[in-house]
Amino acid sequence: MGTSAFTDKAAKAEVAQAIREIERATAAEVVVAVRPLSGHYRHTDYLVGFALSFAALLVFLFDSHEFSIEWMPLDTVVAFALGAYLSASFPLLRRALTSRRLMRANVQTAARATFFDLGIGKTAGRTGILVYVSMFEKGVEVVADVGIDRAVLGPSFISAVAALDAALAHGTSFPRFTAALRALGPILSKTLPRLADDINELPDEPHA
């Protein structure tokens, strides 16, 4: 399931509606950002290319068939290019061969950069929350501003964030994601109830 599952017209409308429901009960300002990927994984592509070129070289050296020595260097380069292309073209292969720790670190770094880029830290009460969705890494990172104390929100908030991440980690499910997103509302309203003069400071439509 690609990025469009989260960013087509119907999906954007549903996410925006979920955010409006959350913000009717809380002073928190929720922003959802969806990205196709959060890092560059050329090293994985090159690793696959190297493996394929090395396999080709072994065939040239040890297979019983005769191969033209003059073409071996070019054939080895072609095998490398083919392996790198396959890795770059098939996300499942690329993801399977990439470190989970690296992907998680890239999602965390990209989420914090996006929080800054979108100006989420500029709300009057410093109550902005970014729900960052990275499709390739199948991960969700939630970045909360200083006005939102996670220690006060407690285990229920942590569980809700884990549910958001699980909506992507174990087979991407947009319905599970929106359900987990809506679950943030009651949790946030307990510690950050909506004020009478509260205004909507950040856009509700997901940023992609």
The pLDDT tens digits of the residues spanning 159-170 come to 988 999 998 887
CA-wise closest residue to 19 among 158, 207, 145, 168 = 207
| % of the chain with per-residue pLDDT over 70 | 96
pLDDT at 3: 58
Domain ranges of the chain: 4-38+100-191, 42-96
d(CA 1, CA 26): 32
* Burial letters 134-147, b for 16+ CB under 10 A, else e: bbbbbbbbbbbbeb
Q: Indicate if the pLDDT at residue 152 is higher than 70.
A: no
Q: Indicate if the pLDDT at residue 1 is higher than 50.
A: no
CATH of 4-38+100-191, one of 3.30.530.20, 3.40.710.10, 3.10.310.50, 3.40.50.720: 3.10.310.50
Q: Indicate if the pLDDT at residue 158 is higher than 90.
A: no
pLDDT at 65: 81
Mean pLDDT over 63-78 rounds to: 85
pLDDT at 4: 63
Reported pTM: 0.88
- Burial label for 200, CB within 10 Å (0-12, 13-18, 19+), is exposed
